[in-house]
Amino acid sequence: MSTKMQNTIRLTLSYIVIAIACIIILYPVAWIVGSSFNPGDSLSGSSIIPENATLQHYKDLFNTAESDYLLWYWNTLKICIITMVIAVAMISCMAYAFSRYRFVGRKNGLMTFLILQMIPNFAALIAIYVLAYITGFLDTHFALILVYAGGLLPMNTWLAKGYLDTIPKELDESARIDGAGHFRIFWQIILPLAKPILAVVALFSFITPFTDFILAQIILRSEEKFTLAVGLYRMISDQFGNEFTTFAAGSVLIAIPISILFLSLQRYFISGLTAGGTKG
Amino acid sequence: MEANGSQTKHRKIALALSLIPGLGQFYNKQLLKGLMFFILTISFAVAFADLINIGLWGIVTLGEKLPRDHSIFLLTQGIIAVLVIAIGLLIYFLNLRDAYLNGRNRDLGIPLNSVREQYRNVSEQGFPYLMLAPGFFLLIFVVIFPILFVILLSFTNYDLYHSPPANLVDWIGIQNYIDIFSMDIWRNTFLDVFSWTIVWTFVATTGQIAIGIFLAVLMNQKDLKFKGIIRTIFILPWAVPAFVSILVFAGMFNETFGAINNDILAAFGVDSIPWLTDPFWTKVALILIQFWLGFPFIFAMVTGVLQSIPNELYEAATVDGASIWQKFRAITLPMILFAIAPILITQYTFNFNNFNVIYLFNGGGPAVSGQTAGSTDILISWIYKLTFTSAQYGKAAAITMILSVIVIAVALWQFRRTKSFQEEDMM
């Protein structure tokens, strides 16, 4: 049967392409995991499956006397969570106002947001640096959190507003007739219904600071204040190769939890990105 | 209507009187409101007089005497003064508008609101503003303020030699822009960086899109097994934080210990390639890395689109004797492009500003002698270097402006076609 032949050839070719793609994707992963178990500091003479595998590099990272790694982890989590809380609170309020009220300046406000979301906020890096410097906020987590939260507002407000627009207005109106005030309608009716989009916004607000490098690099100066991105970069840029195995262990410890978090919440990401039309 | 507009002139009188805030409201017999406008104006003027005075002087002169004046502080104060004035003008405008509208109501014989109604109005209409206030406040300070600052900075000579507190900064008009396009050293660097930015954006983005679409279509074949696990593997590069992957690649491409030269190429008997020291090979490596980093996102999006294409289309095409390739060209590709076009454009603007991959992989290097930019620097990483390595703030700001104009132009063109822009309540 020629169609059967054709099918077999097509499937075989597909599996070959898929296998090649999987190797290309997984090779760096295997290499870095292998490196992290590799004894010694450098990689010369190492192989993907090290002969005398060691957990030493992981222990080094957890040794707070010698490594700031745990501190960086803590800093990053702290910054991400505070940013997330601030951003979600502000975004839900703003989205509610834009979605449910018609007020003077609404149209201009929405336009401003639309334009602001087009320029990544690190484009103004000179200004952020100089302003943080002259206000004395350079090298503080406070400044970083404010910049992250501010940068998240325009795009995510649009995202959340779009979702709130789909919640029927009759719900608010009947609540209003029952005597509920503005804030109560927001808190007890809209917010519970908006949970799916708030989850998406929260996820973005957590991941964006986590994966950001440039803003943290601009604002943070002292080693004990670093986030993971900046710390990991310094770890290999200062003395490239000399600490590579420790760096590898550090990478693995970041990649595993974040990948699991990401893969399990993947559909939220995709729904949010399809609605927002931007990559976080 | 017993009194129409032509017989009484309350609106004009009220408008004219409220040139002094409050008087128009007094004339309309809304004493409390008038008093509030009046007090607000007075206290505004008193509270901000100094700030506005110094700020405006500072933003015009950028300081005259050392060491008393710090140009950048003055510039900052100047921007704040301008913002405060803008708020003041807004209140003033509201005052005029209120007097005029109430005057007109009187002309038309419509009764004015009582104090109680006014209070209810304010609390009713004020609620959205209350909800917006915290966010807008933050936005003004961390987003709008920096943008204004960059715009102004691009018209100054702020650099290493004109740097407070030792020196003053001066306005130099559009000299920075002229320099970038006319001084040889700047123009050559700019053209090099700009052309590589464009090449990088197009090749890296188009490639990641093509790979993503190809793999998604491949995985959409019905008789394929292990789909779930393969899809998870394909999405993995997106799940790992990009800065981690890029730094790992920087290690893999390292010429002394990296796996690419030592393990992979050696296994095929190919000589070592100077990935980090030769501009051409660095560019190749960067583009390959971006393929790896960028395709899963497209893959995930396209997979979603493919699942929504009705099967009848393909069945009809099969009946008509279409080949696999024809089906792809005529059905699949148009459907995909239609559904994710806006996302594809943001992919281009994202890579246009993809600082992380350029900077973390090789710091924009290898260096080019006599230039402030490395051979793989894109505009955004060049701006970074100008700011932090050579302290060319003025020039960096001017280049930021050029970059922003490009990004906004592309984005506006894109958003004109998307839903959110055409919403009924936007226009």
Q: What is the pLDDT of residues A21-39, one digit of tens each?
A: 999 999 999 988 988 888 8
CB contact under 8 A, A277 and B383: no
Higher pLDDT, A48 or B74: B74
Quick one: tokens of A128? Answer: 């952020």
Q: Which of A46, A126, A134, A161 is the best residue to mutate to test the B interface, defined by the most B CB atoms within 10 Å of its own CB?
A: A126
CB contact under 8 A, B301 and A211: no
CB contact A255 to B (< 8 Å): yes
The pLDDT score that the predictor gives to residue A278 is 40
Among residues A191, A187, A185, which one has the least CA distance to residue A172? A185
Looking up tokens 């290499």 gives A31
CA dihedral over A93, A99, A104, A107, signed as positive or negative: positive
A47: pLDDT strictly greater than 80: no
Question: CA gyration radius for chain A?
Answer: 24
Q: How confident is the model at residue A277 (pLDDT cuts 50, 70, 90)?
A: very low
Q: Given A91, A236, A255, which is nearest B240 (Cβ)?
A: A255
Find the DSSP H helices in chain A.
Answer: 2-36, 56-62, 69-100, 106-116, 125-134, 141-164, 169-177, 182-184, 191-193, 195-211, 214-219, 228-237, 244-264, 266-276
| A214 contacts B384 by C-beta, under 8 angstroms | yes
Cβ atoms within 10 Å of B385's Cβ, excluding its own: 18
CB contact under 8 A, A127 and B149: yes
The pLDDT score that the predictor gives to residue B230 is 92
Residue A189, burial from CB neighbour count under 10 angstroms (0-12, 13-18, 19+): middle
For chain A, how far is it from start to end, CA to CA, in angstroms?
A: 49
pLDDT by position in tens, chain B (length 427): 344 445 678 888 888 888 888 888 888 888 888 888 888 888 888 888 888 888 888 888 888 877 778 888 888 888 888 888 888 888 888 888 888 888 888 888 877 777 777 777 777 778 888 899 899 889 988 888 888 999 999 999 998 888 877 888 889 989 999 999 999 889 999 999 999 999 999 999 999 999 999 999 999 888 888 888 999 999 999 989 999 999 999 989 988 888 888 888 888 888 888 988 999 999 999 999 999 999 999 999 898 888 888 888 888 888 988 888 888 888 888 888 888 887 888 889 889 999 999 999 988 888 888 788 889 999 999 999 998 888 889 999 999 999 989 888 887 787 676 655 455 444 3
Phi (first) and psi of residue B171, to 5 degrees = -70, 135
Query: What is the three-class DSSP state of B171?
Result: strand
The pLDDT score that the predictor gives to residue A42 is 66
Q: What is the mean pLDDT of residues A122-149?
A: 88
Phi (first) and psi of residue B29, to 5 degrees = 65, 30
Among residues A117, A96, A102, which one has the least CA distance to residue B346? A117
Q: Given B139, B238, B350, which is nearest A150 (Cβ)?
A: B139
Q: Tell me B270's DSSP state.
A: P
Q: How confident is the model at residue A91 (pLDDT cuts 50, 70, 90)?
A: very high
Quick one: tokens of B69? Answer: 């004046």
In terms of CA atoms, which chain A residue is nearest residue B124?
A: A182
CB contact A257 to B (< 8 Å): no
Among residues B155, B143, B138, which one has the least CA distance to residue B75? B155
Higher pLDDT, A127 or B124: A127
Angle subtended at Cα A129 by Cα A128 and Cα A135, rounded to the nearest 5 degrees: 85
**Cut 0.90: pTM above it:** no
Residue B177, burial from CB neighbour count under 10 angstroms (0-12, 13-18, 19+): middle
CB contact under 8 A, A277 and B125: no
In terms of CA atoms, which chain B residue is nearest residue A126?
A: B387
CB contact under 8 A, A274 and B301: yes
The pLDDT score that the predictor gives to residue B2 is 43
The pLDDT score that the predictor gives to residue B122 is 75
Measured between alpha carbons, how far is A128 from B76 in angstroms, rounded to an integer?
12
Among residues A248, A188, A116, which one has the least CA distance to residue B411? A116
Virtual torsion, Cα A151, A155, A156, A160, nearest 10 deg? 150
Q: How confident is the model at residue A274 (pLDDT cuts 50, 70, 90)?
A: low
CB contact under 8 A, B143 and A26: no
Contact residues on chain B for A97, CB-CB shorter than 8 A = 127-129, 131-132
Q: Tell me A225's DSSP state.
A: G
The pLDDT score that the predictor gives to residue B6 is 52
CB contact A274 to B (< 8 Å): yes
| A123 contacts B404 by C-beta, under 8 angstroms | yes
A1: pLDDT strictly greater than 70: no
The pLDDT score that the predictor gives to residue B5 is 46
CB contact under 8 A, B128 and A103: yes
Cα B294 vs. chain centroid, distance in angstroms? 20
Q: Given B136, B247, B384, which is nearest A233 (Cβ)?
A: B247
| B266 contacts A238 by C-beta, under 8 angstroms | no
Beta bridge partners of B159: B162
Cβ atoms within 10 Å of B273's Cβ, excluding its own: 17
